[in-house]
Amino acid sequence: MTNREQQILIEPDDLASQLDDPDLRVVDATVFLVPATQGYRADSGLEKYQAGHVPGAAFMDLISAFSDTTTGLGFSLPSPDQLAAALGSLGIGNENPVVIYSTGHIMWATRAFWLLRYCGHDRVMVLNGGLKAWREAGHPVNSGDESYSVTRFEPQPRPEVFVDSAAVQAAMSDGDTCTVNALSPEVYAGTGDHHYGRRGHIPGSLNLFYDRLMDGHRFRPAEALTTTLQDSGILDAPRVITYCGGGISATVDAFACLLAGKEEVAVYDGSMSEWVRDESLPLKTGDAP
């Protein structure tokens, strides 16, 4: 395991050995996506959490408490104050080490990681493989609801870790920025049944399907991740912007960049769900950037 993996990715056995740390905060950030006519509908993972979770873990409501629900996009970056209040209500203070996992796809844990990164929290890790890996390792689960004592979180925002559509438009003519579409090749090309209202991808953006970075429900080893990112041309650019349908799976690509040592990476929060709403913004179909 590399030093970077040790900082932001944790294995089930390592987490199990730390559960008796009174300062540790473990959070379940599960959300489930259900296909809809355009895009997906998000369903809360609360019931799955209540049925079984890492002992001591609290539930993190990404759908409402950790999203700006006024944009009509499903998931949008909240204000730093809203995020800070939501973190404090979970019992997360600035000095608490945090481990985030998901019962479903790891993208929800990486989305939550990215929100804490935006708030300035540096002691956050993702459980590699989520609850599935935890169970496979033979570790126990608890049922019902659990919580930590409410505390105060002081945000120290890093606005550079998220970008808006204006920044993505500027990147289209910026040779120093590599823009990466994390969706499937079919959605990227605009050839599949699934789309977000308009087909295709942002012109100039490369395609690195997030699934290529995974080995089942786990991240691939750091060396394999680095090779995939390098072969895709992503690591050569001074700066990277990742996007997807709604700023969720894009965080898988962004997190992989961090694992490979690429720190200058941002997520386009609105992603395709926002981009397609403005008919003046271009889209390109086909396999080529």
CB contact at 8 A, 122 and 92:
no
Share of residues in the chain with pLDDT > 70 (%) = 97
Nearest to 132 by CA among 62, 191, 216, 199: 216
Give pTM, 2 decimals. 0.95
Has residue 1 got a pLDDT over 70?
no
**Among 1-5, 157-161, 213-217, which is the least confidently predicted range?**
1-5
Residue 241 has what pLDDT? 98
> What pLDDT score does 6 carry?
58
Concerning whether 257 is annotated as a catalytic residue, the answer is: no
**pLDDT value of residue 37:** 66
| Average pLDDT of the chain, as a whole number | 95
The number of CA neighbours under 13 Å toward the Cβ of 186 is: 5
Q: Is the pLDDT of residue 5 over 70?
A: no
Of the ranges 3-17, 44-58, 198-212, 240-254, which one carries the lowest mean pLDDT score?
3-17
pLDDT in tens, 72-97: 888 999 999 999 999 999 999 999 99
pLDDT of residue 11 exceeding 80: yes
**Nearest to 79, CA basis, from 162, 167, 196:** 162
User: Would you place residue 251 in the very low, low, confident or very high pLDDT band (cuts 50, 70, 90)?
Assistant: very high
Whether the pLDDT of residue 173 is over 70: the answer is yes
> Between these two residues, 167 and 196, which has the higher pLDDT value?
167
Q: Give percent above pLDDT 90 in the chain.
A: 90
Out of 29-33, 85-89, 148-152, pick the least confident.
29-33
Residue 270 sits at the vertex; the CA angle it makes with 267 and 271, to the nearest 5 degrees, is: 70
In this predicted model, what pLDDT tens digit does every residue of 117-144 receive, in sequence order?
A: 999 999 999 999 999 999 999 999 999 9
Q: CA 34 to CA 95: how far, in whole Å?
A: 36
Say if CB 93 and CB 23 are below 8 A apart: no
Q: Which is catalytic among the residues 119, 178, 244, 257? A: 244
Task: Please give the domain boundaries of the chain with CATH numbers for all domains.
Answer: 3-157 (3.40.250.10), 160-275 (3.40.250.10)
Which 8-state DSSP code applies to residue 211?
G
Instruction: Please answer whether residues 254 and 118 qualify as being in contact, where contact means their C-beta atoms are separated by less than 8 angstroms.
Output: no
Residue of 213, 271, 217 lying closest to 30 (CA atoms) = 217
Q: DSSP labels for 241-287? A: EEE-SSSSTHHHHHHHHHHTT---EEEESSHHHHHTT-TTS--B-SS
